[in-house]
Each structure stands twice: as C-alpha cells, then as structure tokens.
Structure 1
Amino acid sequence: MSEHGAGRPSLPEIDVREKGAEKDGERQYMDRRLFMQLLVFNVERETHPEDAIRRLGKTLKKRDAAGTIYKDVNNPRGIGLLTWSEDPEFFATTLRDALCDDKNDSLELCPDFTMIGRSYSSGFEQDLPFWLINRPIETVTNPDWPWAVWYPLRRSGAFEQLEGREKGGILHEHALIGRAYGEKNLA
C-alpha cells in the first residue's frame, strides 16, 4: 500500500485580527478587542438601592474592576452593572469573585437581561485602538451621559453568508449612522 498523499491535511490559516483603514499606506491590524458585559440586578427589599450601588462600587474598586453602575428606569429597585476588559477571563474570575462578595448579597441577578459582547472593526477605522478600546470606555464613563439604552444586536444568518465586501458596506453604513447619532450626543 502506497503512503503517497497520506498524512493530515494542513489546517487553514485563521486570522482573527481586527482590521482598520489604511494608515500611512499600510492596512491597520490589531489583535486586541474590548469585551463588555451587562448584568442587571434586583435589590432586595431590606436594602436601599443607593446603598447597594455604593457597596457594589466599593467592591469593584477594591478589585480594580472597571465598571459603570446604572439605575434601572423601569424598575425602582433595579440596577445595571456594565463591566469591560480586554481579557474575557476577567468575567469568570475577578468579576465573579467581586459579585460573590458578602457585601453584594442584596443583589439578585436577573439573568434574562444579561448581555455580553465585544468590540469589532468594520475595516474603515482611521484609528483602530481608539475605536475598539478607548471610545467604548469613554462613551460609558462620560458623566454627561448618565443613562444608556441597552438592546441585543443579532445578525441574521443571511448577513453572515454575504461576501466580505458586501458585509463591509453594510457595516460602514451602520457605522455612519452611529457616528451621526454620536455627534449629536445621542449614542
């Protein structure tokens, strides 16, 4: 029996780097992204929501965990916690430990509202690190914007089947709309 052609086929090369616009004649690449998680909690009756917010804030600060705490406008006893990190392990370690702290026993997680996502490039960013890392953090920590509207964004399977160029055009249009809202301080 011949061994010609035997062996494992080579695996395809996978490139997970984010890609931005050309800068100084070269396409930008970056293997960094920002992961963000929104958790929503009900505060038990025995605890005032403001006290729960203060305790949660102290716990996060003690663990050097970046986060923004929101008051839920639809639930007077509800709060939202948005955290972020470039390392997704943060959510399973640092954040998890912070939330299991006894000081946060008054918080009951509302799992139906949990969202997690990451920043991604559209391929048109002039300053890739700014748009993928710095801009999202600046937006959620801006004291002039003490509120946020959170909604899940899902792409249909049909979108994922489009050619890269066509997907890029749609993402570019989406980015322009988002930028227009952002310039009016609406996003």
Structure 2
Amino acid sequence: MRELVLKMSVSLDGFVAGTRADSNWPLRAGTPDSAAWVFETLSGAGAHLIGHRLFEGFARLWPTSTNPMAAPMNDIPKVVFTRQATFDPTSFSAGADESPAAASWSGARVASGDLAEEINRLKHEPGGYLLAQGGVDFGRSLVHSGLIDEYRFVVLPVALGSGSGLFTELSDELDLQLISSTAFDGGAIANVYRPKS
C-alpha cells in the first residue's frame, strides 16, 4: 500500500504561510543542497496531491518553467483535491499549446469526494508514495484526517511573527517521531517525522 507524505515549508516560529503576499520567505534560504533534497522528494513520488487553489497557480507556472524542479512537477501524475464537483483542470493550462507538460496539468485527476475515502483509494493503487504539497487548508485537512504516514518539513531560518499554522485546531495532541534531520548550507533544515504508533 502506498504511503502519504506531506511536504511543507515552515518558518522558525511554526507558520506554513505568512501574512504578506509579496514575501518570498520559502525561497530565500535556497541552496544547491536543499534544492537537491527537494528534487529527490519530488522525483520519488508516484503522484502529486494538490489542493485546488495551489493547483491553479502550479498549472500556470510549471509547464513553461525552466527551473530544474519543473521536470518532476510536470512528469508525475497530479490529483487535485476540491469540493467543487465541476472543477475543470483544463481551464488553468499555461498557454494555448498542449505540450506534454501542459497536458500533465490539464489531464489531472479530480478528487471531489470524501477526503479520507479519496486518500484511501489512492493508497491502494500501485505506484510510488503520494506526495501532498500545501496549501494550508488542504494540509490541515490531511493532518485532521489522520492518514499522513510521513511529514517532511523544511524549516527555514526566518521568523514571520504571524501567519497560518498547519496544526491548528487539532482534536487531540499528535506525537511524531523524528526520522532524519538534514542541515543545508543556507541555514534551512529538513526534518522528517512519522506519527508514533
């Protein structure tokens, strides 16, 4: 059975999203070693699970991007999670051409049913791990579902002072076990956790 991995960037003060729309805080500590870690995480996935708001931005950005991360972002199948039964991934395609990269986004699978049922269905399909990447609401929904097998947090050397946390409104405390910690040249640290049994 496939595992569900949640990857998020986190500030030193525990926020996964800040209040300033113009801030690029998740990118400022990027170095070649941290980029290699992210690339490996992306490349190992069997499917990208994305909330619909983040999907809209990604679908416009990645098909035409020259960033090295574009290859795994474009090549790996996508599943967009939304409560909108009529959500159409083709309406967010970047450009009129239907390049293979653009087609991978316009052809995304839409999951609009019960979150736990959709995740369990995906877990029982063949392939590599399921990689969920933000946004905040989607990440929180996954945390509350109790179906995350592994958390991969890139803790960045920045304090935001305010913002949105991933673990707000938990119904109970959540104990995690640190599996690995990798420090990068720019001061970021990748911490991998698994829920304690």
TM-score, normalization by structure 1: 0.23
Higher RCO, Cα 8 Å, sep 6+ = 2
Q: Which has the higher helix share?
A: 1
User: What TM-score, normalized to structure 2?
Assistant: 0.23
